[in-house]
Homo-oligomer: A and B are copies of this chain.
Amino acid sequence: MPTFISPQPDDERFMRLALDACRAGVMQGQTPFGACIVRGGEVIESTHNHVWLTIDPTAHAEVHCIRHACQKLNTIDLTGATIYSTTEPCPMCFSAIHWSRIERIVYGANIADAQSFGFNELIVTNEQLIELGKLSMQLTPGFMRDEAIELFKLWQQRGGQTY
Contacts and interface: CB of A to CB of B under 8 A. Distances in A.
Most interface-central of A95, A129, A133 (chain B CB within 10 A): A95
B133 A122 contact: yes
Number of copies of chain A assembled together: 2
B58 A96 contact: yes
Interface in A54-69: 54-59, 63, 66-67
13 contacts: A55-B70, A56-B70, A56-B76, A59-B67, A91-B94, A91-B129, A92-B92, A92-B95, A98-B122, A99-B122, A122-B129, A123-B134, A128-B132
Interface of A: 51-52, 54-59, 63, 66-67, 70-71, 74-77, 90-96, 98-101, 120, 122-124, 128-129, 132-135, 163
